Structure 1
Amino acid sequence: MDLRFTPEENAFREEVRAFFRDNLDPKLREKLVAGRHFTKQELVDWTRTLNRHGWGVPHWPVEYGGTGWDPVRQYIFLEELQAFPAPAPLAFGVNMVGPVIYTFGNEAQKKHFLPRIANLDDWWCQGFSEPGSGSDLASLKTRAVRDGDHYVVNGQKTWTTLAQHADWIFCLVRTDPTAKKQEGISFLLIDMKTPGITVRPIELLDGGHEVNEVFFDDVKVPVENLVGQENKGWDYAKFLLGNERTNIARVGVSKERLRRIRELASIERIGEEPMIRNPRFREKLAAAEIELKALEMTQLRVIAAERTREKGKPDPASSVLKIKGSEIQQMTTELLLDVVGPYALPYVPEPEGEDAPLSNEPPIGPDWAASVAPTYFNWRKVSIYGGSNEIQRQIIAKAILGL
Structure 2
Amino acid sequence: MDLRYGAEHEQFRVVVRDFLARCWTKGGDAAEFRQKAVAAGYLYRGIPKRFGGSEQPSEILKARIITEEFARARAPMEVKGNGVQMLVPTLLECGEEWQKEQFVPKTLTGEYRWAQGFSEPGAGSDLASLRTRAELRSGQWVINGQKVWTSYAKQCRYMFALVRTEPAAPKHEGISYLLIDLDQPGIDIRPMKQINGGIDFNEVFFTDATTPEHWIVGRRGEGWKISKSLLKHERNMLGGIDRSDAMFESLLKLAQRSTIEGECAIKVPWVRDRLAALKAELEVQRYSSMIQLSRELNGEGGGVLQMMNKLVQSNFAAAVAELSNAIIGDESLISPIGNEKPGNERWVNQYMNSLAAAIAGGTSNIQRNIIAERGLGLPREGEKA
User: How has the CA–CA distance of structure 1 residues 215 and 272 changed in structure 2, closer, same or farther, with 3 Å as cutoff?
Assistant: closer
**Mapping of residues 374-393 of structure 1, within 5 Å:** 374-393=349-368
Q: Confirm or deny that 1:395 pairs with 2:370.
A: yes
Is 1:257 matched up with 2:247?
yes
Match of 2:47 in 1: 60
**Structure 1 residues 156-165 or 75-84, which shifts more?**
75-84
Structure-2 residue corresponding to 1:23: 24
Are 2:336 and 2:349, in contact at CA under 8 Å, matched by a contact in 1? no
Residue 46 of structure 1, CA deviation: 3.2
Counterpart in the other structure of 1:5:
5
Letter in 1 for 2:221: N
Contact preservation (8 Å) 2:296, 2:302: no
Tell me the matched-pair count.
371
Instruction: Identify which range, 210-219 or 289-298, moves more after superposition.
Output: 289-298
TM-score calculated relative to the size of structure 1 = 0.83
Match of 1:298 in 2: 288
Residue range with higher mean Cα deviation, 341-350 or 175-184: 341-350
Counterpart residue type for residue 238 of structure 2 = I
How does 1:29-68 map onto structure 2 within 5 Å?
A: 46=30, 49-54=33-38, 55-61=42-48, 64=51, 65-68=53-56
RMSD (CA atoms): 2.8
Task: Map 1:1-400; keep pairs closer than 5 Å.
Answer: 2-10=2-10, 12=12, 23=24, 25=26, 46=30, 49-54=33-38, 55-61=42-48, 64=51, 65-68=53-56, 69-78=58-67, 89-306=79-296, 317-350=305-338, 358=340, 368-400=343-375
Q: Which moved more, 1:277-286 or 1:82-91?
A: 82-91
Amino acid at match of 2:286: E
SS in 2 for 1:368: coil
Contact 2:295 2:302 in 1 (8 A): no
State TM-score, norm by structure 2. Answer: 0.86
DSSP 3-state at the match of 1:53? helix
| Equivalent in the alignment of 1:33 | none
Query: In the aligned structure 1, how far is the partner of 2:11 from the partner of 2:322?
Result: 35
> Alignment partner of 1:160: what SS?
strand
Call closer, same or farther: CA 1:91–1:346 in 2, change over 3 Å: closer
**Structure 1 residues 88-117: Cα deviation after superposition (integer angstroms, max 9, x where no partner):** 622311111101111111111111111111
Distance 1:193 1:48 in 2: 28
Structure 1 stretch displaced more, 314-323 or 253-262: 314-323
Contact 1:172/1:185 (CA < 8 Å) preserved in 2?
A: yes
Aligned to 2:383: none
Q: Are the aligned partners of 2:154 and 2:189 in contact in 1 as well (CA < 8 Å)?
A: yes
Distance 1:250 1:82 in 2: 14
What is the letter of the counterpart of residue 60 of structure 1? I
Task: Using the TM superposition, give the Cα deviation of residue 61 of structure 1 relative to its aligned residue in structure 2, in angstroms.
Answer: 4.8
> Deviations 1:112-155 (Å, cap 9, x if unpaired)?
11111111110111111111101111111111111131111111
Judged with a 3 Å threshold, the aligned counterparts in structure 2 of structure 1 residues 141 and 74 are, in CA distance, closer, same or farther, namely farther
**Distance change in 2, residues 1:67/1:369 (3 Å):** farther
Structure 2 CA distance for partners of 1:97 and 1:61, relative to 1, 3 Å:
same
Equivalent residue for 1:37?
A: none
2-structure distance, mates of 1:82, 1:350? 29
Which amino acid counterpart does residue 177 of structure 2 have in structure 1?
F
CA distance in 1, matches of 2:114, 2:274: 38
Deviates most, 87-96 or 393-402: 87-96
5+ residue gaps, structure 1, are 29-44, 352-357
**Contact kept in structure 1, 2:26 and 2:74, CA below 8 Å:** no
- Identity, in percent, stands at 35
Deviations 1:230-261 (A, max 9, x none): 11111110011111111211321221222222
| Aligned mates of 1:340, 1:15 — CA distance in 2 | 43
Q: How far apart are residue 309 of structure 1 and its match?
A: 6.7
How far apart are residue 77 of structure 1 and its match? 4.0
SS of 2:372 mapped into structure 1:
helix
Q: Name the CA distance, whole Å, in 1 between partners of 2:276 and 2:90.
A: 39
The alpha-carbon distance between structure 1 residues 6 and 62, as it changes in their structure 2 partners (threshold 3 A), is: farther
Q: Secondary structure at the match of 2:317?
A: helix
Cα separation, partners in 2 of 1:245 and 1:272, compared to 1, 3 Å: same
Classify 1:203/1:230 alpha carbon distance in 2 versus 1 (closer, same or farther; 3 Å). same
Give the Cα separation in 2 of the matches to 1:393 and 1:275.
Answer: 35
Is the alpha carbon distance of 1:10 and 1:258 closer, same or farther for their aligned partners in structure 2, counting shifts above 3 Å? farther
